[in-house]
Amino acid sequence: MLKGRVVAISVSKEKGVPKENVPKVKIIEGYGIEGDAHAGPWHRQVSFLDTYTLEWMKEIVGRPLRYGELAENITTDVDLSQVEVGDQIKVGECLFEVTQIGKKCHHGCAIFQRVGKCEMRTRGIFTKVIKGGLIKVGDTLEIIKRGSHGEA
């Protein structure tokens, strides 16, 4: 089981724009983050990205990226490269199930225009909320591999 912590939480009122950092959020089961544009009854309710990807992107774009700049909801210090669809992510009392890795790039979005590249398309982890609650920056985060929670 991989463990780490939540480094940042970011939300936005509209899609396709960088998100703003907040210290805590309410996670709603089957919906997502209260007040975030990506919340709703679909399979990409909450997105995760790791600090390793942001460091890698720094080399490509020639400057540091701030948390939320690639429109990720939760930035973690856990390397997410080994996460697979079906794995679960536990943050505090909340539980998320990985439903998708990467997504189609919207080349006209504000993020692409600002950064020139967006690794959410290959490295972003998208989840649905299995159990809601409150989470805050600094909370412990665990990756539960698909086979280790009885759903092989």
62: in domain = yes
pTM of the model: 0.85
Number of domains in the chain: 1
pLDDT at 123: 74
- pLDDT tens digits, 44-90: 999 999 999 888 878 777 888 889 988 899 999 999 999 999 999 99
131: in domain = yes
- pLDDT tens digits, 9-19: 999 999 878 89
Q: Which domain holds residue 7?
A: 2-145
Q: Which residues have a Cβ under 8 Å from the Cβ of 1 and sit 6 or more positions away? A: 142, 143, 144, 145, 148
152: in domain = no
CATH code for position 58: 2.40.33.20
CA angle 19/10/35 to nearest 5° reads: 85
Comparing 69 with 106, the larger pLDDT belongs to 69
**Dihedral sign of CA atoms 75, 36, 64, 80 in order:** positive
